[in-house]
A and B are shown apart, each in its own frame.
Chain A
């Protein structure tokens, strides 16, 4: 067996991932802060006023990153859950469980900022539009995943049940993404899509992408914080947790 494979499996154990996550968290926080400051600066002081939407369009700088993250975190969560189902590794279920609340909050933020953007531009906080409805379903999928796991006492069984739910729910993600193409919706089309030049000025686009990086780093940092707590909660009666310096202190 080659070395990389061995190392990979080494970090797949909660025992070695716990300290690794602890060392990574400050770096992700630092990156989140840097991208956040730069991103907000561009959002409010560099990006020009929109010709049609005036200053109201500035919601885009959090709305789009939150929406992207809500979908992306779901995919990652489902991937971890699926991995746990196939390989039966302990860490996978913990990762999925750690990601769910962050994903749910991102979905919530997407809906919330969307409502605050829809009201002045469309005249309604909410419409039963394909994009909005499928994003709402994503939010409910996260809530369902969290509730289902919380309802099952045995964590390994909770992981399995949650994994099936998460994997079935994956079908919703492309529906959200392509909803603006497949149906006539009130929601505007994608601002950025692969293989097409973006339909916005460069400063707006860079602000949005840097804010997306900030959200990305934030999500990783907070999910790593949560996974560390989950590792300890689930490994309470193991020798290595007993021997942790933090526990001995």
Chain B
């Protein structure tokens, strides 16, 4: 397929709303999902580190 101009490309032969409405939502989801998964991983790691520090401090006060 050869597009005459960028405008023609974005117009998608009159189907712009439908084609871009599909592709953009798809792209949005595929960007958001890994970000959320990454955030979940960071949250649990942070909690684990805090717990570890708390335990260390607790050990020091006991000693």
Interface, chain A (partner B; CB < 8 A) = 44-49, 54-56, 58-59, 62-63, 66, 101-102, 105, 108-109, 112-113, 116-117, 119-120, 218, 221-222, 225-226, 228-229, 232-233, 236, 241-242, 244, 246-249
Which 6 pairs between the two chains have the least Cβ-Cβ distance? Answer: A55-B13, A56-B15, A225-B37, A113-B22, A229-B40, A229-B41
A109 B19 Cβ-Cβ under 8 A: no
CB distance from B56 to the nearest CB of A (A): 11
What are 24 A-B contacts with C-beta separation under 8 Å?
A45-B2, A56-B12, A56-B13, A56-B15, A56-B19, A59-B22, A62-B23, A105-B33, A109-B25, A113-B22, A113-B26, A119-B18, A120-B15, A218-B30, A228-B41, A229-B41, A229-B43, A232-B48, A233-B44, A236-B47, A241-B48, A246-B45, A247-B52, A248-B52
A44 B41 Cβ-Cβ under 8 A: no
A236 B29 Cβ-Cβ under 8 A: no
In the complex with contacts A113-B26, A222-B33, A222-B34, A247-B18 CB distance below 8 A: no
Complex-state Cα separation, A49 to B41, whole angstroms: 43
B25 A222 Cβ-Cβ under 8 A: no
B4 at the interface (CB under 8 A from A): no
B1 at the interface (CB under 8 A from A): yes
Complex-state Cα separation, A47 to B30, whole angstroms: 23
In the complex with contacts A101-B33, A232-B44, A56-B9 CB distance below 8 A: no
